Amino acid sequence: MVHPYMRQSHHAQQGMQSAEEISQKTVELLERLHAIVIGPGLGRDSLMQDTAAKIIEAAKARNMPMVVDADGLFLVQNRPSIIKDYVKAILTPNKAEFARLCKAMDVDPQGDETDVCAKLARAFGGVTIIQKGPKDYISNGKQTFVCDLEGGLKRSGGQGDTLTGSLGTFLAWTRAYRERTWNHDNSLSDSELISLSAFGAAAVTRYCSRVAYEKKGRALQASDLSVEVGNAFKYLFETENPKL
């Protein structure tokens, strides 16, 4: 369901609508949500970015887990304080975005990928970073994981949306876990839930990329990954001893 509340500067009512006013309708929806994704399709228009900043602040006040991707990373790059120290946030930069975030936080991007990812996560105060690439490096500054499941041999623009969407789903389930929607021992900490969400989403995306490439080859498009998500989840998490 689409709620067309966001406005670019030239679409605001003759400049009379502020980011505060525009964001309010979206903020009112947050009580109905378990997690949010900020960035895909956002754009870099100043009013859109300001509105997204207001929504992030409102989500933080509600202690909601969030994923920041695409143009949301442009916002964080320019206003690091908006996400700093919020440990329920996951950032998903590609190589270029990662370098820009490192520059914003005065972190040297050169060196061992595992160490650099951890340094950036620490610079953000424990925010989880998923550095996308041939291998996905996942770190909250204290623990670092590498997701190196085989992926496809083609990168198509938009494939990151499968990661972002999967992350949003897994993060929503962390709230269901805390609310004991099903019976369990409640033994996982918040940081473990965030890390598991990040690793699980990376694994799903890499599986989808591999299988979609096997079917489509060089004709692969980002949308081809979406149809593989259900099979990926079943294979990775519902099959005993999957061959990875």
119 marked ligand binding residue: no
54 marked ligand binding residue: no
217 marked ligand binding residue: no
223 marked ligand binding residue: no
69 backbone φψ class: left, alpha, beta (φ>0; ψ -120 to 50): beta
161 marked ligand binding residue: yes
96 marked ligand binding residue: yes
- HSE on the CB side for 122, CA within 13 Å? 13
141 marked ligand binding residue: no
152 marked ligand binding residue: yes
Starting at the earlier edge strand, list the strands of the sheet with 144-147: 36-38, 66-68, 89-91, 128-131, 136-139, 144-147
60 marked ligand binding residue: no
150 marked ligand binding residue: no
134 marked ligand binding residue: yes
Both tokens of 74, joined, read 């442009």
Q: How far is CA 87 from CA 14, 17, 215, in A?
A: 38, 32, 38
111 marked ligand binding residue: no
132 marked ligand binding residue: yes
160 marked ligand binding residue: yes
Both tokens of 195, joined, read 């890390």
99 marked ligand binding residue: yes
95 marked ligand binding residue: yes
Binding-site positions for (6S)-NADPHX: 41, 94-100, 161
Binding-site positions: 41, 94-100, 132-136, 151-161
Binding-site positions for ATP: 132-136, 151-160
